[in-house]
Every structure is written in C-alpha cells, then in structure tokens.
C-alpha cells in the first residue's frame, strides 16, 4: 500500500523531470503557434485582396464596354421602338467627349455674346453720331437765324432812321405786266366802217411811277374772227403816236386803236368790208396778253345803198 501511495503521491525525480519537460515543450509550442498566427493571416489575406482588386478592375472594364456599346432598342407590343423619340439609338459619350462638347458650346455662346456686344456698340455709336450731327445742324440753324434777325433789324433801323429821298420817289421804273390793270371797250359795230377799240391801263402794283413802252411792236391790238386775223395794229400802222407813257401810282391812261372795218389780212391791203359775225379784240404788251378773254363783239353788215331811178 505504501508503494502504491508513494508511487501515486510522489512521483520520482526522473519521472517528474520527464513529465515537466513535455509540459514546457507544449507550452513553448503553443506560444510559437500564437506568434506565427498573424503572419499566416496576413499571408492568407494578401491573395484575397489581389483577387478583389482584379475583380473590381474587370467590373470597371465591363461597365466601360457596356457604356460604349450602343443601347439596344426596347421591345414593346407591336414592334421595336428606338430608345429615343428622334428614331436614333442614343450613344453614351465618354466624359472627355462631354467635356469637349461643353467647351464647344461655351465657345459658341461666347462668340454669339461677342457678336451681340459688337452690334450693340455699333448701334450706340451710330446713335451717338446722329445725335452729334443733329446738334451741329441745330446749332448752325440757330446761328443762321440769329444772323438773319440781326440783318433784318439793321435794315429796318436804317429805313426808319434815314430820311426819304424825294428824287427817288419820282424816279420811274419800267412797267411790268403785274403792275397794270387793263380794260377794253368798243365803239361801232358795222362792217366797212371804223370801229374804235379803247384800252384803259391803270398802275395798281408799283409804289413809284412806271414807264410804259407804247411802240407799235410793244403795245398793239389784234382782231380775230375764229382762227382768221382781220386786223393787226402793228401791220396796219394804227397804233398810238406816243412812244412811251408815264404812269404814276393809281393813274389810268386810255389809248384808242381804230379799225377801218375792212378785212385787212396779213398785209392789211384788202378793201373788202368785214363780214357780219363774231369777233374778238385782244391787246398785247411786250408780246403778252393783257387780258385773258379779250373783248368779244358782233359786227353787222353795212346797209346796201338805195338805187336812184
């Protein structure tokens, strides 16, 4: 029994040592495994990370390829419909293509903005030029009006300040047709007998006396029946004797031209009495009519003398 207790309770030294050695060995082995475990974990995780990176790169490449490929049209009932309303299959652009398109649009907008700005500047410049031109013209008009007003005022001052010249008031001027008022009258109406045409002329337009030329070519009377001229005072030398008349303002002069009642013709040499009918007398001064309608009158036939038995 003692042997059993001894063997059971007290192990031998050799047995104790031998039994201690495995314990230490197991402890050291356990410690060694614990220290090497992180290295094995890192070594095992590195292939996994490489595999994940390769998979992610493959996914990115596949997505890029899918983005570059044209989108297939959708299928609906009744046929194939394009992906967009315009009938074209949309193409996804790359980021650098989109950047280029945005840059192109921005440059186009900048050019359009520059063109609009240039046009606005040109319009403003034209308006400015027109404004300056209008101002210059207005200034010139004001200066011209001022000069004319000064000249007119000085002229009026001289007219009122200077005494009238008595000799100038009697200095005659040539009579103009606008200065004269003319009236015609007649005496006699029998063919073959003298018919007097009286011409009354009055100076109504001139402030000073006017001289009227009364030569046979300047102041004359004609008588017509239709288109036929039967009397011309210049041709028949039936004018007035005075070569010139002086007409003061408001003065009237009456001159008489006598027609012998014969059909004178162009040379005033016929002895045939004027036939009965309608005649018109006109008076001329410096080659112009002094009246618009002239003086219409009637001529009657001369009485036939009675025969003596």
For the chain, how many residues are written? Answer: 309
Predicted confidence pLDDT, tens digits, the chain (309 residues) = 444 444 444 444 444 444 444 444 444 444 444 444 545 555 555 556 667 777 777 777 777 676 666 555 555 444 454 555 445 555 555 555 666 666 777 788 888 888 989 999 999 999 999 999 999 999 999 999 999 999 988 888 877 765 555 545 567 889 999 999 999 999 999 988 999 999 999 999 888 889 999 998 899 999 999 988 999 999 888 888 888 888 988 999 999 999 988 887 677 877 788 889 999 999 999 999 999 989 999 999 877 665 555
Cα 176 from Cα 178, distance rounded (Å) = 5
Nearest to 192 by CA among 300, 280, 34: 300
What single-letter DSSP state applies at residue 165? -
The two three-digit tokens of residue 171, written as one number: 């200095």
Handedness of CA 96, 100, 103, 109 (dihedral sign): negative
Nearest to 257 by CA among 183, 182, 214, 199: 199
pTM: 0.46
State the CB neighbour count (10 A cutoff) for residue 255. Answer: 19
């Amino acid at each position: 029994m003692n042997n059993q207790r001894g063997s059971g309770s007290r192990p031998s030294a050799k047995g104790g040592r031998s039994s201690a050695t495995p314990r230490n060995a197991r402890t050291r082995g356990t410690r060694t495994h614990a220290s090497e475990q992180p290295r094995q974990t890192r070594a095992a995780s590195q292939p996994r990370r490489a595999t994940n990176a390769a998979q992610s790169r493959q996914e990115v490449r596949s997505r890029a390829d899918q983005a570059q490929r044209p989108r297939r049209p959708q299928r609906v009932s009744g046929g194939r419909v394009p992906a967009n309303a315009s009938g074209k299959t949309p193409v996804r652009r790359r980021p650098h293509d989109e950047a280029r398109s945005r840059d192109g649009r921005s440059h186009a907008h900048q050019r359009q903005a520059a063109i609009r700005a240039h046009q606005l500047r040109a319009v403003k410049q034209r308006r400015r030029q027109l404004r300056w031109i209008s101002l210059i013209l207005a200034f010139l008009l004001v200066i011209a009006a001022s000069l004319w007003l000064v000249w007119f005022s000085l002229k009026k001052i001289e007219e009122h300040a200077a005494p009238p010249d008595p000799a100038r008031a009697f200095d005659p001027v040539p009579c103009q047709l606008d200065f004269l008022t003319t009236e015609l009258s007649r005496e006699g109406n029998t063919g073959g007998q003298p018919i007097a045409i009286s011409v009354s002329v009055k100076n109504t337009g001139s402030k000073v006396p006017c001289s009227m030329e009364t030569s046979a070519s300047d102041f004359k009377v004609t008588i017509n029946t239709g288109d036929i001229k039967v009397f011309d005072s210049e041709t028949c030398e039936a004018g007035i004797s005075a070569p010139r008349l002086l007409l003061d303002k408001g003065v009237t002069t009456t001159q008489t031209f006598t027609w012998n009642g014969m059909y004178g013709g162009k040379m005033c040499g016929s002895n045939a009495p004027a036939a009965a009918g309608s005649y018109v007398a006109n008076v001329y001064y410096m080659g112009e009519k002094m009246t618009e309608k002239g003086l219409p009158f009637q001529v009657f036939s001369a009485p036939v003398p009675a025969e003596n038995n």
